[in-house]
Structure 1
Amino acid sequence: MSQTLPPGQPPEREDAPGGTPADSGTAPSHGAVPLDGAVPLPSQGVAGQPEGADRPGTDMRTKGTVPAAADLPPPVARAAPHLSRPGVRLVAVPLAVTLGLLTVAALGTGFVGRFGAAESPEARAFTSLLEFDLWSALVGASIALYVAVAYAMSYAVRRRWRQPIDRPAPRAVAVLVAGAAVLLGAVFGILRFFTPPDSVPVPLDGLAWRVPLLLVLGMLAAAPGAVGLWDVQVRLLRLSRRLPTEPDVLAPVGALRELHLGWRDAVRFLTGGSLIISTAVVDAGALRNALLAYGMPEKSFPASSVLLYGAFFSVMFALVFLPVVVLWRSVAGRLVESTVRIPEADELTEDWIERRARLVAFLRLDISLPKVLAPAFGILAPLATGAVSLFLPGGGR
Structure 2
Amino acid sequence: MNSLARRHAVLSRSALFLMLGTLGGCLGPVIILWGYPFPQDSPSQTFITQPEFLTFLFLTSVYTSISTLLAFPLWRSLRFLKGYMKGHQVEVMVILTAMLFLFFAPTLLGRLIAFPFLDPQPFDLEHLRVKIIALILVGTIAIAPAAIGTLILPNVARRDIQASRLLLPDRADDLVAIQKYLRYRQLMQQYLYSSGAIVGLITLIAGALRNVRLAVGLTETQFPQSVIITFGLYWSAILALFYTIGQLALLECGQHLRDDIYPLNSLTSLMNKTEQRRGLNEILHLNASVEQNIRNAIAILAPLLTGLIANLLSIESP
How far did residue 316 of structure 1 move? Answer: 2.9
Normalised TM-score (structure 2): 0.79
Partner of 2:116: 199
**Alpha-carbon displacement from aligned partner over 1:207-242 (angstroms, at most 9, x marks no partner):** 131111111221111111122223312224536978
Decide which moves more: 214-223 or 292-301: 292-301
1:168 to 84, 93, 98: 84
The CA deviation at 1:90 is: 5.9
3-state SS in 2 of match to 1:233? helix
User: AA paired with 1:283?
Assistant: I
* Rg (Cα) greater in structure: 1
Contact 2:143 2:194 in 1 (8 A): yes
8 A contact 2:150–2:242 mirrored in 1: yes
Contact kept, 8 Å, 2:100 with 2:140, in 1: the verdict is no
- Aligned partners of 1:355 and 1:216: how far apart in 2? 48
Give the conservation status (yes or no) of the 8 Å contact 1:114–1:136. no
- Counterpart in 1 of 2:205? 283
Compared with structure 1, are the counterparts of its residues 224 and 183 closer, same or farther at alpha carbon in structure 2 (3 Å cutoff)? same
Aligned-pair Cα RMSD in Å: 3.6
Q: Which amino acid aligns with 1:112?
A: I
Q: Which runs of 5+ in 2 are unaligned?
A: 166-170
Q: Of the candidates 286, 303, 308, which is equivalent to residue 225 of structure 2?
A: 303
Shift of 1:328: 1.6
1:264 aligns with 2:191: no
Q: Deviations over 1:309-353 (max 9, x none)?
A: 22323333433322111112222223333333346556765x633
What's 2:168 paired with? none
Q: Give, in angstroms, the shift of residue 359 of structure 1.
A: 1.0
- Structure 2 residue 25 is matched with structure 1 residue 105: yes
Deviation track 1:17-43 (CA, whole Å, cap 9, x = no partner) reads: xxxxxxxxxxxxxxxxxxxxxxxxxxx
Q: Which residue of structure 2 lines up, in the alignment, with residue 95 of structure 1?
A: 15
The normalised TM-score by structure 1 is: 0.65
1:394–1:306 Cα change, 3 Å: closer
Shift of 1:141: 2.5
Paired residue type of 1:109: P
Conserved in 1, the CA contact under 8 Å of 2:204 and 2:306? no
Please list, as runs of the form range in 1=range in 2, the aligned pairs for 1:131-280 lying within 5 A after superposition.
Answer: 131-158=52-79, 160-161=80-81, 167-168=83-84, 170-172=86-88, 174-188=89-103, 190-196=105-111, 199-200=116-117, 201=121, 203-238=124-159, 253=174, 254-280=176-202
Paired letter, 1:175: V
User: What is the number of residues matched between the two proteins?
Assistant: 305
- Taking only the aligned residue pairs, the percentage that are identical comes to 17
CA shift for structure 1 position 142: 1.5
* Distance change in 2, residues 1:90/1:388 (3 Å): closer
Identify, as 1 or 2, the structure richer in helix.
Answer: 2
SS of 1:204 mapped into structure 2: coil
Counterpart-to-counterpart distance in 2, 1:106 and 1:283: 16
Aligned counterpart for 1:320 among listed residues 242, 262, 272:
242
**Deviation per residue, 1:52-99 (Å, 9 max, x gap):** xxxxxxxxxxxxxxxxx5xxxxxxxxxxx3365745x86354234313
Change (3 A) 1:116 1:199: farther
Match of 1:168, SS state, is helix
Letter in 2 for 1:168: Y
Contact 2:229-2:304 within 8 A present in 1 as well: no
